[in-house]
Chain A
Amino acid sequence: MENLLQQIVNGLVVGSVYALVALGYTMVYGILGLINFAHGDVLMVGALVALQVATLLHKFWPGLHPLLILAISLGVAIPVCMLLGYVMERTAYRRLRNAPRLAPLITAIGVSFLLQTVAMIIWGRNYHSFPPLFPTIPLEPFPGVFITPVQVTILVASATLMVALIMLVNRTPLGRAMRATAENHRVASLMGVDTNKIISTTFILGSGLAAVAGVMHASNYGVAHYSMGFLPGLKAFTAAVLGGIGNLGGAMVGGIVLGLVETIGAGYIEQLSFGLLNSSYQDIFAFVILGIVLIFRPTGLLGERVSDRA
Protein backbone atom coordinates (compact mmCIF):
# COMPACT_ATOMS: atom_id res chain seq x y z
CA MET A 1 0.00 0.00 0.00
CA GLU A 2 2.80 2.43 0.91
CA ASN A 3 4.33 1.32 -2.32
CA LEU A 4 1.30 2.35 -4.36
CA LEU A 5 0.97 5.64 -2.46
CA GLN A 6 4.63 6.34 -3.10
CA GLN A 7 4.16 5.70 -6.79
CA ILE A 8 1.15 8.00 -6.87
CA VAL A 9 3.24 10.78 -5.32
CA ASN A 10 6.03 10.21 -7.83
CA GLY A 11 3.53 9.97 -10.65
CA LEU A 12 1.91 13.28 -9.75
CA VAL A 13 5.30 14.95 -9.70
CA VAL A 14 6.39 13.58 -13.07
CA GLY A 15 2.91 14.15 -14.44
CA SER A 16 2.81 17.81 -13.52
CA VAL A 17 6.07 18.39 -15.37
CA TYR A 18 4.57 16.66 -18.42
CA ALA A 19 1.47 18.78 -18.01
CA LEU A 20 3.44 22.03 -18.10
CA VAL A 21 5.18 20.98 -21.27
CA ALA A 22 1.99 19.58 -22.79
CA LEU A 23 0.36 22.99 -22.33
CA GLY A 24 2.92 24.50 -24.69
CA TYR A 25 2.24 21.87 -27.34
CA THR A 26 -1.47 22.23 -27.04
CA MET A 27 -1.55 26.05 -27.07
CA VAL A 28 0.52 26.24 -30.22
CA TYR A 29 -1.51 23.49 -31.85
CA GLY A 30 -4.73 25.21 -30.87
CA ILE A 31 -3.76 28.45 -32.51
CA LEU A 32 -1.70 27.33 -35.51
CA GLY A 33 -2.53 23.65 -36.02
CA LEU A 34 1.21 23.07 -35.72
CA ILE A 35 2.92 20.36 -33.69
CA ASN A 36 6.02 22.18 -32.53
CA PHE A 37 8.36 19.23 -32.12
CA ALA A 38 11.10 21.55 -30.95
CA HIS A 39 9.11 22.35 -27.82
CA GLY A 40 10.82 19.62 -25.78
CA ASP A 41 14.16 21.18 -26.61
CA VAL A 42 13.04 24.48 -25.14
CA LEU A 43 12.77 22.56 -21.87
CA MET A 44 16.36 21.42 -22.37
CA VAL A 45 17.55 24.97 -23.03
CA GLY A 46 15.73 26.12 -19.88
CA ALA A 47 17.43 23.47 -17.78
CA LEU A 48 20.92 24.08 -19.17
CA VAL A 49 20.70 27.86 -18.95
CA ALA A 50 19.53 27.56 -15.35
CA LEU A 51 22.34 25.13 -14.65
CA GLN A 52 24.85 27.49 -16.21
CA VAL A 53 23.62 30.40 -14.13
CA ALA A 54 23.59 28.31 -10.94
CA THR A 55 27.13 27.11 -11.60
CA LEU A 56 28.39 30.64 -12.17
CA LEU A 57 26.67 31.86 -9.02
CA HIS A 58 28.19 29.01 -7.02
CA LYS A 59 31.58 29.99 -8.31
CA PHE A 60 31.41 33.74 -7.75
CA TRP A 61 29.14 33.92 -4.68
CA PRO A 62 29.91 30.69 -2.87
CA GLY A 63 27.73 31.45 0.14
CA LEU A 64 24.59 32.41 -1.76
CA HIS A 65 21.37 30.89 -0.45
CA PRO A 66 20.24 28.00 -2.68
CA LEU A 67 16.74 29.40 -3.01
CA LEU A 68 18.16 32.69 -4.22
CA ILE A 69 20.25 30.75 -6.72
CA LEU A 70 17.10 29.00 -7.86
CA ALA A 71 15.23 32.26 -8.23
CA ILE A 72 18.01 33.91 -10.23
CA SER A 73 18.50 30.83 -12.44
CA LEU A 74 14.79 30.76 -13.22
CA GLY A 75 14.82 34.49 -13.68
CA VAL A 76 17.35 34.04 -16.47
CA ALA A 77 16.14 30.74 -17.94
CA ILE A 78 12.52 31.83 -18.34
CA PRO A 79 13.16 34.98 -20.41
CA VAL A 80 15.84 33.20 -22.45
CA CYS A 81 13.34 30.48 -23.37
CA MET A 82 10.61 33.02 -24.04
CA LEU A 83 12.92 34.81 -26.43
CA LEU A 84 13.80 31.48 -28.01
CA GLY A 85 10.11 30.65 -28.51
CA TYR A 86 9.51 34.06 -30.04
CA VAL A 87 12.48 33.81 -32.39
CA MET A 88 11.52 30.28 -33.40
CA GLU A 89 8.08 31.38 -34.50
CA ARG A 90 9.28 34.55 -36.18
CA THR A 91 12.08 32.97 -38.16
CA ALA A 92 11.02 29.39 -38.80
CA TYR A 93 7.24 29.02 -38.62
CA ARG A 94 5.71 32.35 -39.61
CA ARG A 95 6.74 32.19 -43.23
CA LEU A 96 5.24 28.70 -43.44
CA ARG A 97 1.86 29.80 -42.13
CA ASN A 98 0.13 29.02 -45.42
CA ALA A 99 2.39 26.22 -46.55
CA PRO A 100 1.21 22.60 -46.77
CA ARG A 101 1.03 21.02 -43.32
CA LEU A 102 4.07 18.84 -43.79
CA ALA A 103 6.43 21.80 -44.26
CA PRO A 104 6.14 23.30 -40.75
CA LEU A 105 6.22 19.83 -39.23
CA ILE A 106 9.51 19.00 -40.91
CA THR A 107 10.79 22.46 -40.01
CA ALA A 108 9.92 21.81 -36.37
CA ILE A 109 11.98 18.64 -36.41
CA GLY A 110 14.79 20.63 -38.02
CA VAL A 111 14.57 23.29 -35.30
CA SER A 112 14.74 20.53 -32.71
CA PHE A 113 17.98 19.17 -34.21
CA LEU A 114 19.36 22.67 -34.45
CA LEU A 115 18.70 23.42 -30.78
CA GLN A 116 20.23 20.13 -29.67
CA THR A 117 23.29 20.65 -31.80
CA VAL A 118 23.84 24.18 -30.57
CA ALA A 119 23.37 23.01 -26.99
CA MET A 120 25.85 20.22 -27.58
CA ILE A 121 28.38 22.71 -28.90
CA ILE A 122 27.89 25.00 -25.89
CA TRP A 123 27.56 22.45 -23.10
CA GLY A 124 29.19 19.36 -24.56
CA ARG A 125 27.89 15.82 -24.71
CA ASN A 126 28.29 15.08 -21.03
CA TYR A 127 25.66 14.77 -18.40
CA HIS A 128 25.91 17.70 -16.02
CA SER A 129 24.84 17.14 -12.47
CA PHE A 130 22.22 19.69 -11.62
CA PRO A 131 23.09 21.43 -8.37
CA PRO A 132 20.75 20.56 -5.51
CA LEU A 133 18.93 23.83 -4.88
CA PHE A 134 16.71 22.44 -2.14
CA PRO A 135 17.29 20.70 1.13
CA THR A 136 17.61 17.04 0.25
CA ILE A 137 16.07 15.49 3.35
CA PRO A 138 12.77 13.95 2.24
CA LEU A 139 9.56 14.49 4.16
CA GLU A 140 7.50 11.54 5.25
CA PRO A 141 3.83 12.60 5.14
CA PHE A 142 2.65 9.00 5.66
CA PRO A 143 4.71 6.24 7.18
CA GLY A 144 6.80 4.72 4.43
CA VAL A 145 5.87 7.39 1.85
CA PHE A 146 8.56 9.92 1.04
CA ILE A 147 8.42 13.20 -0.80
CA THR A 148 11.38 15.49 -1.30
CA PRO A 149 11.17 19.27 -0.95
CA VAL A 150 11.94 19.46 -4.67
CA GLN A 151 8.87 17.37 -5.39
CA VAL A 152 6.66 19.43 -3.12
CA THR A 153 7.86 22.56 -4.87
CA ILE A 154 7.21 21.02 -8.28
CA LEU A 155 3.65 20.14 -7.31
CA VAL A 156 2.87 23.53 -5.83
CA ALA A 157 4.56 25.52 -8.59
CA SER A 158 2.94 23.62 -11.44
CA ALA A 159 -0.49 23.79 -9.85
CA THR A 160 -0.06 27.54 -9.43
CA LEU A 161 1.13 28.03 -12.99
CA MET A 162 -1.70 25.97 -14.39
CA VAL A 163 -4.33 27.90 -12.46
CA ALA A 164 -2.72 31.16 -13.57
CA LEU A 165 -2.74 30.06 -17.19
CA ILE A 166 -6.37 28.96 -17.04
CA MET A 167 -7.30 32.32 -15.53
CA LEU A 168 -5.33 34.18 -18.18
CA VAL A 169 -6.94 32.28 -21.03
CA ASN A 170 -10.48 32.28 -19.70
CA ARG A 171 -10.74 35.54 -17.82
CA THR A 172 -8.70 38.21 -19.55
CA PRO A 173 -9.11 40.12 -22.83
CA LEU A 174 -5.77 38.68 -23.96
CA GLY A 175 -7.01 35.14 -23.30
CA ARG A 176 -10.26 35.87 -25.08
CA ALA A 177 -8.31 37.13 -28.08
CA MET A 178 -6.18 33.98 -27.97
CA ARG A 179 -9.25 31.78 -28.05
CA ALA A 180 -10.85 33.85 -30.78
CA THR A 181 -7.67 33.66 -32.87
CA ALA A 182 -7.47 29.92 -32.30
CA GLU A 183 -10.93 29.57 -33.71
CA ASN A 184 -10.63 31.93 -36.67
CA HIS A 185 -7.64 34.11 -37.49
CA ARG A 186 -9.47 36.06 -40.13
CA VAL A 187 -12.47 37.00 -38.02
CA ALA A 188 -10.21 37.74 -35.05
CA SER A 189 -8.34 40.25 -37.19
CA LEU A 190 -11.70 41.80 -38.11
CA MET A 191 -12.15 42.45 -34.39
CA GLY A 192 -8.90 44.40 -34.37
CA VAL A 193 -6.77 41.58 -33.02
CA ASP A 194 -3.19 41.59 -34.26
CA THR A 195 -3.12 37.84 -34.74
CA ASN A 196 0.64 37.76 -35.29
CA LYS A 197 1.11 39.26 -31.86
CA ILE A 198 -1.26 36.72 -30.34
CA ILE A 199 0.65 33.88 -31.97
CA SER A 200 3.95 35.28 -30.68
CA THR A 201 2.43 35.56 -27.22
CA THR A 202 1.35 31.94 -27.38
CA PHE A 203 4.86 30.79 -28.21
CA ILE A 204 6.29 33.01 -25.47
CA LEU A 205 3.92 31.68 -22.81
CA GLY A 206 4.45 28.06 -23.80
CA SER A 207 8.21 28.49 -23.82
CA GLY A 208 8.18 30.12 -20.40
CA LEU A 209 6.30 27.13 -19.02
CA ALA A 210 8.78 24.79 -20.71
CA ALA A 211 11.67 26.63 -19.05
CA VAL A 212 10.13 26.09 -15.64
CA ALA A 213 9.46 22.46 -16.50
CA GLY A 214 13.08 22.06 -17.58
CA VAL A 215 14.38 23.29 -14.25
CA MET A 216 11.90 21.04 -12.45
CA HIS A 217 12.85 18.02 -14.50
CA ALA A 218 16.56 18.58 -14.01
CA SER A 219 16.11 19.22 -10.28
CA ASN A 220 14.01 16.11 -9.90
CA TYR A 221 16.50 13.82 -11.63
CA GLY A 222 19.64 15.78 -10.72
CA VAL A 223 21.06 15.84 -14.27
CA ALA A 224 20.88 17.91 -17.42
CA HIS A 225 22.30 17.37 -20.90
CA TYR A 226 21.78 18.45 -24.48
CA SER A 227 19.29 15.75 -25.46
CA MET A 228 17.30 15.71 -22.23
CA GLY A 229 14.34 17.43 -23.92
CA PHE A 230 13.57 14.64 -26.33
CA LEU A 231 11.87 12.12 -24.08
CA PRO A 232 9.87 14.50 -21.88
CA GLY A 233 8.95 16.37 -25.06
CA LEU A 234 7.61 13.24 -26.68
CA LYS A 235 5.80 12.26 -23.51
CA ALA A 236 4.29 15.70 -23.10
CA PHE A 237 3.12 15.49 -26.69
CA THR A 238 1.55 12.15 -25.82
CA ALA A 239 -0.09 13.80 -22.83
CA ALA A 240 -1.46 16.57 -25.03
CA VAL A 241 -2.89 14.03 -27.47
CA LEU A 242 -4.24 11.95 -24.61
CA GLY A 243 -6.08 14.93 -23.18
CA GLY A 244 -7.27 16.12 -26.58
CA ILE A 245 -4.79 18.32 -28.41
CA GLY A 246 -5.79 21.96 -28.50
CA ASN A 247 -7.53 21.66 -25.14
CA LEU A 248 -5.78 23.25 -22.14
CA GLY A 249 -7.61 21.25 -19.47
CA GLY A 250 -6.90 18.16 -21.54
CA ALA A 251 -3.16 18.81 -21.52
CA MET A 252 -3.20 19.04 -17.73
CA VAL A 253 -5.29 15.91 -17.26
CA GLY A 254 -3.27 14.10 -19.92
CA GLY A 255 0.02 14.99 -18.25
CA ILE A 256 -1.10 13.86 -14.81
CA VAL A 257 -2.67 10.64 -16.11
CA LEU A 258 0.43 9.81 -18.12
CA GLY A 259 2.71 10.47 -15.14
CA LEU A 260 0.58 8.22 -12.95
CA VAL A 261 0.28 5.40 -15.48
CA GLU A 262 4.00 5.51 -16.10
CA THR A 263 5.16 5.40 -12.49
CA ILE A 264 2.51 3.01 -11.25
CA GLY A 265 3.01 0.88 -14.34
CA ALA A 266 6.74 0.79 -13.74
CA GLY A 267 6.04 -0.88 -10.39
CA TYR A 268 4.08 -3.67 -12.02
CA ILE A 269 5.78 -3.98 -15.36
CA GLU A 270 7.55 -7.18 -14.37
CA GLN A 271 4.31 -8.91 -13.49
CA LEU A 272 2.56 -7.41 -16.54
CA SER A 273 5.20 -8.71 -18.92
CA PHE A 274 5.70 -12.06 -17.16
CA GLY A 275 9.21 -11.12 -16.12
CA LEU A 276 10.25 -10.11 -19.61
CA LEU A 277 10.68 -6.39 -18.87
CA ASN A 278 11.83 -4.50 -15.80
CA SER A 279 11.10 -1.00 -14.58
CA SER A 280 13.73 0.56 -16.82
CA TYR A 281 11.25 -0.03 -19.63
CA GLN A 282 8.74 2.36 -18.10
CA ASP A 283 8.95 4.69 -21.10
CA ILE A 284 7.00 2.09 -23.02
CA PHE A 285 3.77 3.19 -21.36
CA ALA A 286 3.75 6.59 -22.96
CA PHE A 287 4.00 5.14 -26.43
CA VAL A 288 1.49 2.38 -25.83
CA ILE A 289 -0.92 5.06 -24.64
CA LEU A 290 -0.16 7.24 -27.64
CA GLY A 291 -0.89 4.33 -29.96
CA ILE A 292 -4.10 3.38 -28.21
CA VAL A 293 -5.42 6.95 -28.12
CA LEU A 294 -4.61 7.58 -31.76
CA ILE A 295 -6.34 4.38 -32.78
CA PHE A 296 -9.43 4.44 -30.59
CA ARG A 297 -9.98 8.04 -29.55
CA PRO A 298 -7.97 10.43 -31.66
CA THR A 299 -9.82 13.38 -30.14
CA GLY A 300 -8.40 12.47 -26.73
CA LEU A 301 -10.08 12.27 -23.35
CA LEU A 302 -11.50 15.79 -23.27
CA GLY A 303 -11.52 16.59 -26.97
CA GLU A 304 -15.16 16.52 -27.94
CA ARG A 305 -14.62 17.94 -31.39
CA VAL A 306 -12.42 16.56 -34.11
CA SER A 307 -10.15 19.45 -34.95
CA ASP A 308 -10.97 21.05 -38.26
CA ARG A 309 -7.31 21.73 -38.86
CA ALA A 310 -5.94 18.27 -38.30
Chain B
Amino acid sequence: MPTEQSAPILELQDVRIRYGQIEAVKGISLQLHRGELVCLIGANGAGKTSTLNAIAGTLPIASGELRYQGQSITTQPAHLRVRQGVALVPEGRGIFTRLTVEENLRMGAYTRHEKQAVEADLERVYSMLPRVKERLAQVAGTLSGGEQQMVAIGRALLSRPKLLLLDEPSMGLAPLIVEKIFEVVQTVVKEGVTILLVEQNANLALEFAQRGYVMDGGLITITGSGDELLRDPRVRSAYLGETEETP
Protein backbone atom coordinates (compact mmCIF):
# COMPACT_ATOMS: atom_id res chain seq x y z
CA MET B 1 0.00 0.00 0.00
CA PRO B 2 1.22 3.47 -0.78
CA THR B 3 1.80 5.54 2.28
CA GLU B 4 -0.85 8.11 3.05
CA GLN B 5 1.69 10.83 3.71
CA SER B 6 3.28 10.79 0.22
CA ALA B 7 1.85 13.64 -1.85
CA PRO B 8 -0.60 12.39 -4.46
CA ILE B 9 0.54 12.57 -8.09
CA LEU B 10 -3.01 13.38 -9.10
CA GLU B 11 -5.79 14.92 -7.11
CA LEU B 12 -9.32 15.81 -8.14
CA GLN B 13 -11.23 18.12 -5.83
CA ASP B 14 -14.99 18.39 -6.21
CA VAL B 15 -14.78 18.22 -10.00
CA ARG B 16 -17.92 18.88 -11.99
CA ILE B 17 -18.31 18.40 -15.74
CA ARG B 18 -21.16 19.66 -17.86
CA TYR B 19 -22.30 19.10 -21.40
CA GLY B 20 -24.56 22.08 -21.94
CA GLN B 21 -27.36 21.67 -19.42
CA ILE B 22 -26.48 18.09 -18.56
CA GLU B 23 -24.21 17.61 -15.58
CA ALA B 24 -22.28 14.42 -16.31
CA VAL B 25 -19.94 14.54 -13.30
CA LYS B 26 -21.41 16.02 -10.15
CA GLY B 27 -18.53 16.81 -7.88
CA ILE B 28 -16.01 14.01 -7.48
CA SER B 29 -12.79 13.92 -5.52
CA LEU B 30 -10.08 11.33 -5.84
CA GLN B 31 -6.35 10.87 -5.29
CA LEU B 32 -3.75 8.76 -7.02
CA HIS B 33 -0.40 8.08 -5.44
CA ARG B 34 2.80 7.50 -7.31
CA GLY B 35 3.13 3.99 -8.69
CA GLU B 36 -0.44 2.97 -7.94
CA LEU B 37 -2.75 1.08 -10.23
CA VAL B 38 -6.22 2.37 -9.48
CA CYS B 39 -9.34 1.36 -11.32
CA LEU B 40 -12.50 3.28 -11.93
CA ILE B 41 -15.59 1.22 -12.58
CA GLY B 42 -19.23 2.06 -13.08
CA ALA B 43 -22.23 1.57 -15.30
CA ASN B 44 -22.58 3.07 -18.77
CA GLY B 45 -22.98 6.81 -18.60
CA ALA B 46 -21.59 7.04 -15.06
CA GLY B 47 -19.10 9.70 -16.16
CA LYS B 48 -15.89 7.66 -16.32
CA THR B 49 -14.82 8.78 -19.79
CA SER B 50 -15.69 12.37 -18.99
CA THR B 51 -13.47 12.18 -15.92
CA LEU B 52 -10.50 10.79 -17.83
CA ASN B 53 -10.90 13.35 -20.61
CA ALA B 54 -10.96 16.12 -18.04
CA ILE B 55 -7.75 14.81 -16.48
CA ALA B 56 -6.09 14.62 -19.91
CA GLY B 57 -7.33 18.10 -20.71
CA THR B 58 -9.51 17.55 -23.73
CA LEU B 59 -12.65 18.37 -21.76
CA PRO B 60 -12.98 21.50 -19.61
CA ILE B 61 -14.34 21.16 -16.12
CA ALA B 62 -17.19 23.34 -14.92
CA SER B 63 -15.86 23.72 -11.37
CA GLY B 64 -13.47 22.11 -8.93
CA GLU B 65 -9.76 21.60 -9.23
CA LEU B 66 -7.28 19.25 -10.86
CA ARG B 67 -3.87 18.98 -9.27
CA TYR B 68 -1.00 17.08 -10.82
CA GLN B 69 2.34 16.72 -9.08
CA GLY B 70 1.23 19.29 -6.58
CA GLN B 71 0.30 21.96 -9.13
CA SER B 72 -3.04 23.04 -10.46
CA ILE B 73 -3.54 21.98 -14.09
CA THR B 74 -7.21 22.90 -14.17
CA THR B 75 -6.86 25.33 -17.08
CA GLN B 76 -3.81 23.86 -18.76
CA PRO B 77 -4.46 22.73 -22.36
CA ALA B 78 -4.12 19.04 -23.20
CA HIS B 79 -1.00 19.37 -25.32
CA LEU B 80 0.93 20.84 -22.40
CA ARG B 81 -0.21 18.19 -19.95
CA VAL B 82 1.38 15.52 -22.16
CA ARG B 83 4.72 17.24 -21.75
CA GLN B 84 4.36 16.90 -18.00
CA GLY B 85 3.75 13.19 -18.27
CA VAL B 86 -0.01 12.72 -18.52
CA ALA B 87 -1.06 10.28 -21.27
CA LEU B 88 -4.53 9.05 -22.18
CA VAL B 89 -5.40 5.99 -24.20
CA PRO B 90 -8.84 7.21 -25.21
CA GLU B 91 -12.09 5.31 -25.35
CA GLY B 92 -12.36 3.75 -28.80
CA ARG B 93 -8.55 3.84 -29.11
CA GLY B 94 -8.25 7.03 -31.16
CA ILE B 95 -5.89 5.50 -33.69
CA PHE B 96 -4.87 7.72 -36.60
CA THR B 97 -6.31 5.38 -39.20
CA ARG B 98 -4.63 7.06 -42.19
CA LEU B 99 -1.17 7.01 -40.64
CA THR B 100 0.98 3.90 -40.60
CA VAL B 101 1.51 1.96 -37.40
CA GLU B 102 5.00 3.37 -37.05
CA GLU B 103 3.77 6.92 -37.61
CA ASN B 104 1.12 6.38 -34.95
CA LEU B 105 3.75 5.27 -32.50
CA ARG B 106 6.03 8.16 -33.38
CA MET B 107 3.16 10.57 -32.79
CA GLY B 108 3.30 9.36 -29.20
CA ALA B 109 6.83 10.72 -28.99
CA TYR B 110 5.87 14.02 -30.60
CA THR B 111 6.94 16.11 -27.65
CA ARG B 112 10.27 14.34 -27.19
CA HIS B 113 13.46 15.38 -28.87
CA GLU B 114 16.04 12.96 -27.49
CA LYS B 115 16.32 10.86 -30.61
CA GLN B 116 18.19 7.90 -29.19
CA ALA B 117 15.94 7.53 -26.19
CA VAL B 118 12.89 7.57 -28.48
CA GLU B 119 14.38 4.86 -30.69
CA ALA B 120 15.17 2.80 -27.61
CA ASP B 121 11.61 3.23 -26.35
CA LEU B 122 10.27 2.20 -29.75
CA GLU B 123 12.30 -1.00 -29.50
CA ARG B 124 10.97 -1.58 -26.02
CA VAL B 125 7.39 -1.20 -27.24
CA TYR B 126 8.10 -3.61 -30.09
CA SER B 127 9.42 -6.19 -27.68
CA MET B 128 6.38 -5.75 -25.45
CA LEU B 129 4.00 -5.91 -28.39
CA PRO B 130 5.57 -8.17 -31.04
CA ARG B 131 2.41 -8.16 -33.14
CA VAL B 132 2.78 -4.44 -33.60
CA LYS B 133 6.30 -4.80 -34.90
CA GLU B 134 5.17 -7.03 -37.75
CA ARG B 135 2.87 -4.31 -39.02
CA LEU B 136 4.90 -1.13 -38.80
CA ALA B 137 4.41 -0.07 -42.41
CA GLN B 138 0.71 -0.95 -42.48
CA VAL B 139 -1.91 1.79 -42.48
CA ALA B 140 -3.31 1.64 -38.95
CA GLY B 141 -6.95 1.73 -40.06
CA THR B 142 -6.54 -1.77 -41.46
CA LEU B 143 -5.47 -3.28 -38.12
CA SER B 144 -7.75 -5.50 -36.08
CA GLY B 145 -9.32 -4.03 -32.95
CA GLY B 146 -6.84 -5.77 -30.69
CA GLU B 147 -3.88 -4.61 -32.72
CA GLN B 148 -5.22 -1.06 -32.71
CA GLN B 149 -5.52 -1.16 -28.94
CA MET B 150 -1.92 -2.31 -28.67
CA VAL B 151 -0.82 0.52 -30.94
CA ALA B 152 -2.83 2.98 -28.85
CA ILE B 153 -1.14 1.76 -25.67
CA GLY B 154 2.30 1.66 -27.26
CA ARG B 155 1.77 5.17 -28.58
CA ALA B 156 0.88 6.44 -25.11
CA LEU B 157 3.96 4.76 -23.63
CA LEU B 158 6.19 6.53 -26.13
CA SER B 159 5.43 9.83 -24.44
CA ARG B 160 7.14 8.36 -21.33
CA PRO B 161 4.12 9.02 -19.13
CA LYS B 162 4.23 9.35 -15.38
CA LEU B 163 0.47 9.05 -15.24
CA LEU B 164 -1.25 6.75 -17.72
CA LEU B 165 -5.01 6.93 -18.16
CA LEU B 166 -6.60 3.92 -19.84
CA ASP B 167 -10.22 4.10 -20.97
CA GLU B 168 -11.67 0.60 -21.37
CA PRO B 169 -8.66 -0.95 -23.10
CA SER B 170 -10.33 -4.37 -23.17
CA MET B 171 -13.51 -3.19 -24.84
CA GLY B 172 -14.69 -5.61 -27.51
CA LEU B 173 -11.55 -7.72 -27.47
CA ALA B 174 -11.03 -11.48 -27.28
CA PRO B 175 -9.94 -12.88 -23.86
CA LEU B 176 -6.45 -13.71 -25.10
CA ILE B 177 -5.81 -10.17 -26.18
CA VAL B 178 -7.31 -8.79 -22.99
CA GLU B 179 -4.87 -10.97 -21.07
CA LYS B 180 -2.00 -9.60 -23.14
CA ILE B 181 -3.11 -6.05 -22.49
CA PHE B 182 -3.28 -6.63 -18.76
CA GLU B 183 0.19 -8.13 -18.91
CA VAL B 184 1.45 -4.92 -20.49
CA VAL B 185 -0.40 -2.84 -17.89
CA GLN B 186 1.31 -4.76 -15.12
CA THR B 187 4.72 -4.35 -16.71
CA VAL B 188 4.14 -0.64 -16.94
CA VAL B 189 3.06 -0.37 -13.30
CA LYS B 190 6.16 -2.28 -12.24
CA GLU B 191 8.22 0.39 -13.96
CA GLY B 192 6.72 2.95 -11.63
CA VAL B 193 4.08 4.50 -13.86
CA THR B 194 0.87 5.49 -12.08
CA ILE B 195 -2.22 4.13 -13.81
CA LEU B 196 -5.86 5.06 -13.69
CA LEU B 197 -7.79 2.32 -15.43
CA VAL B 198 -11.42 2.50 -16.49
CA GLU B 199 -12.80 -0.96 -17.07
CA GLN B 200 -16.07 -2.69 -17.79
CA ASN B 201 -14.32 -5.91 -17.00
CA ALA B 202 -14.42 -5.04 -13.31
CA ASN B 203 -13.49 -8.49 -12.10
CA LEU B 204 -10.22 -8.52 -13.91
CA ALA B 205 -9.44 -4.89 -13.18
CA LEU B 206 -10.09 -5.14 -9.44
CA GLU B 207 -7.92 -8.19 -9.22
CA PHE B 208 -4.89 -6.25 -10.40
CA ALA B 209 -5.70 -2.86 -8.98
CA GLN B 210 -4.54 -1.78 -5.55
CA ARG B 211 -7.54 0.45 -5.14
CA GLY B 212 -10.75 1.22 -6.93
CA TYR B 213 -13.46 3.82 -7.21
CA VAL B 214 -17.01 3.05 -8.21
CA MET B 215 -18.88 5.76 -10.09
CA ASP B 216 -22.59 5.99 -10.48
CA GLY B 217 -24.61 8.81 -11.99
CA GLY B 218 -21.70 11.24 -11.95
CA LEU B 219 -20.70 10.57 -8.35
CA ILE B 220 -18.18 8.33 -6.65
CA THR B 221 -20.32 6.02 -4.57
CA ILE B 222 -17.90 3.40 -3.26
CA THR B 223 -14.17 3.30 -2.79
CA GLY B 224 -11.73 0.84 -1.31
CA SER B 225 -8.92 -1.58 -2.00
CA GLY B 226 -9.27 -3.97 -4.90
CA ASP B 227 -10.03 -6.86 -2.55
CA GLU B 228 -12.58 -4.88 -0.58
CA LEU B 229 -14.44 -3.93 -3.71
CA LEU B 230 -14.31 -7.48 -5.02
CA ARG B 231 -15.99 -8.63 -1.80
CA ASP B 232 -18.43 -5.72 -1.53
CA PRO B 233 -21.95 -7.07 -2.10
CA ARG B 234 -23.09 -3.85 -3.85
CA VAL B 235 -20.21 -4.07 -6.28
CA ARG B 236 -20.74 -7.78 -6.79
CA SER B 237 -24.38 -7.45 -7.70
CA ALA B 238 -24.04 -4.33 -9.81
CA TYR B 239 -20.77 -4.79 -11.66
CA LEU B 240 -19.47 -8.30 -11.22
CA GLY B 241 -22.55 -10.18 -12.33
CA GLU B 242 -22.14 -12.45 -9.24
CA THR B 243 -22.10 -15.73 -11.18
CA GLU B 244 -19.31 -15.28 -13.72
CA GLU B 245 -16.37 -15.41 -11.35
CA THR B 246 -13.15 -15.59 -13.32
CA PRO B 247 -10.08 -16.92 -11.59
A interface residues, Cβ below 8 angstroms from B: 173, 176-177, 179-180, 183-184, 186-195
> For residue B93, which residue of chain A has the nearest CB?
A187
CA gap between A292 and B243 in the complex, in Å: 61
CA gap between A157 and B80 in the complex, in Å: 39
24 A-B pairs whose Cβ atoms sit less than 8 Å apart in the complex: A173-B110, A176-B99, A176-B103, A179-B96, A179-B103, A180-B96, A183-B98, A183-B99, A184-B94, A184-B96, A186-B90, A187-B94, A188-B107, A189-B58, A189-B77, A190-B58, A190-B79, A191-B82, A191-B110, A191-B159, A192-B80, A192-B82, A192-B83, A193-B79
Closest CB in chain B relative to A240 CB, distance in Å: 18
Residues of B within 8 A of A189 (CB): 57-58, 77-79
Residues of B within 8 A of A193 (CB): 79, 107, 110
Residues of A within 8 A of B33 (CB): none
Residues of A within 8 A of B88 (CB): 190
Residues of B within 8 A of A186 (CB): 58, 78, 90, 94
Size band of the interface chain B makes with A? 20 to 34
> For residue A182, which residue of chain B has the nearest CB?
B98
Contact between B110 and A192, CB atoms less than 8 A apart: yes
CA gap between A173 and B97 in the complex, in Å: 17
Contact between A183 and B107, CB atoms less than 8 A apart: no
Contact between A191 and B99, CB atoms less than 8 A apart: no
Residues of A within 8 A of B98 (CB): 179, 183
Closest CB in chain B relative to A59 CB, distance in Å: 48
CA gap between A85 and B88 in the complex, in Å: 33
Closest CB in chain A relative to B45 CB, distance in Å: 20
CA gap between A183 and B107 in the complex, in Å: 13
CA gap between A186 and B49 in the complex, in Å: 14
Residues of A within 8 A of B96 (CB): 179-180, 183-184, 187
> For residue B58, which residue of chain A has the nearest CB?
A186
Closest CB in chain B relative to A310 CB, distance in Å: 16
Q: Lowest 8 A-B CB distances belong to which pairs?
A: A192-B111, A192-B82, A187-B94, A189-B78, A191-B107, A191-B110, A189-B79, A192-B110
Q: Provided the pairs A173-B110, A176-B103, A177-B110 are in contact, do residues A190 and B97 lie with their beta carbons within 8 angstroms? A: no
Residues of B within 8 A of A183 (CB): 96-99
Residues of B within 8 A of A187 (CB): 90, 94, 96
